[in-house]
Amino acid sequence: MDAAYVSADDIRDQFSKAMSAMYQQEVPQYGTLLSLVESVNHDVLAQDAALAHTLKSSDELARLSVERHGAIRVGLPEELSLLRRMFAVMGMHPVGYYDLAAAGVPVHSTAFRPVDDDALKRNPFRVFTSLLRLELIENPQLREQAREILSRREIVTPEAQALIARCEEQGGLNAADAKAFVQAALDTFRWHHDATVDRATYDRLHQEHRLIADVVSFRGPHINHLTPRTLDIDAVQQQMPSVGIDPKAVIEGPPRRRCPILLRQTSFKALEETITFADSVVGLHTARFGEIEQRGVALTQKGRALYDRLLAKSQQLPPTKDNSAHQAQLAEVFQAFPDDHATLRREGLAFFHYQAVPDTNVSLPAQINADTLEALIEQGALTCQPMIYEDFLPVSAAGIFQSNLGGEQRDEYASQANQAQFERDLGASVIDEIALYASRQQASLDKALAALGGRC
């Protein structure tokens, strides 16, 4: 890229910080949540020197202070495709396909995020982006009315669209254009107190599904949450009421473990916000909430298969809204999942970064296999660090959605996933997250072995 252009990583960093500042103004409880998470993280690092050292040595420590992910919902394929181009300016690409319709939520989704190691270290900001599945609205009149309402709006300003096109044409943006792009792009995600529909239309959409009303009734896809990352989500869940925040009943995802896996999430309940409808009637709308996440190691296909089997087994147990009881049930079921990194690595259940240890003298055989790797690790020539899971879990995402939509679930939305249609609407293929982790692991191993080979 031309040296005169600002890197996509820098633009993403600017944008995520601007988004955080905007959301803190719009939702003051978000600021309270950030303070709570910062306090919990400080306590965890003070009490666990080994964890602090590991995070620092793997460049993970700096990421804790960066906003981790946002979430938005769009209504039309054209909107999704345009956002793909917007996020590309920031070095964010569509990773993964999530079918939430099977969980009673009429959307399917992807996560726009950076994909390579250096970009993730610079700023791992991601946006979970859902497209409303209008075809799942049973009432044909309401479905067409929703489509017509959405077709009248323009969610990206002309200035932002011009800057996106400029970036595509010339391969980047200079400093002035990058700054202008961040401010123009931010307008897409602002909250609007004025609805674009009258009260009667809103009520019909709301009766079909709260999420449909949220997507269709406003000028754009307002950010509905931003999520900081904590090192101890159980402590955050426990302490939220003490700072005036009402948490959802249970933490989503796997149970607490010595070696965290995948993703655990909780949130505070959605706010009731005053809005004015197009016919000047004043009412309330509930959509935006606060979310917290704790991330663990990314799992291989084999690891995900084991996780999914155990999760399915846990879902056969009697449901409970008591988090302690829920976590105890999960922990019992997940005893079958190894809880130390060495076993996770040896059994091929999780992904790791490999690194050569300086000043070691080893002799590498012509063929490198699993036994060779174990020997190199035992000799101290290779180190490995768990690879952080950068993505999402469909069941957990649906649980967060439902807890902030009044707990409702519409079984008639359960349908087959339609990734092919989603990709046509997106205008690109989504990246397979498992393949991405595998390629990053292999690249780190190749680099480490090359370094060792050079010292034989």
Instruction: Tell me if 89 sits within 8 A of 167, measured CB to CB.
Output: yes
- Tell me which DSSP letter residue 311 carries: H
Instruction: Tell me if 440 sits within 8 A of 118, measured CB to CB.
Output: no
pLDDT of residue 74: 96
pLDDT of residue 9: 95
pLDDT of residue 407: 47
pLDDT of residue 249: 84
**Would you say residue 94 has pLDDT above 50?**
yes
Structure tokens at 153: 């709006």
As a whole number, mean pLDDT of residues 92-109 equals 89
**Percent of the chain clearing pLDDT 90 (strictly above):** 60
pLDDT of residue 381: 87
Residue type, 427: G
Local structure of 107: helix, strand or coil: strand
- CA gap 384, 387 in Å, rounded: 9
**Would you say residue 439 has pLDDT above 70?**
yes
- CA gap 112, 15 in Å, rounded: 14
Q: What is the mean pLDDT of the chain?
A: 88
End-to-end CA distance of the chain: 37
Strands 126-132 and 69-74: parallel
**Would you say residue 409 has pLDDT above 90?**
no
**Would you say residue 456 has pLDDT above 50?**
no
pLDDT of residue 422: 95
pLDDT of residue 397: 55
For residue range 319-353, list pLDDT tens digits in order: 778 888 888 989 999 999 999 999 999 999 999 99
Q: Is the Cα torsion angle 312, 318, 321, 325 positive or negative in sign?
A: negative
pLDDT of residue 281: 93
**Would you say residue 120 has pLDDT above 80?**
yes
**Closest to 228 in 3D by CA, of 456, 446, 31, 92:** 31
- Cα 285 → chain centroid: 24
Structure tokens at 228: 């900081």
For residue range 55-66, list pLDDT tens digits in order: 887 777 877 777
**Percent of the chain clearing pLDDT 70 (strictly above):** 93
Residue in this structure with the two tokens 């302490």, named with its chain if needed: 239
- CA gap 250, 83 in Å, rounded: 32
What pLDDT band is residue 149 in, cutting at 50, 70 and 90? very high
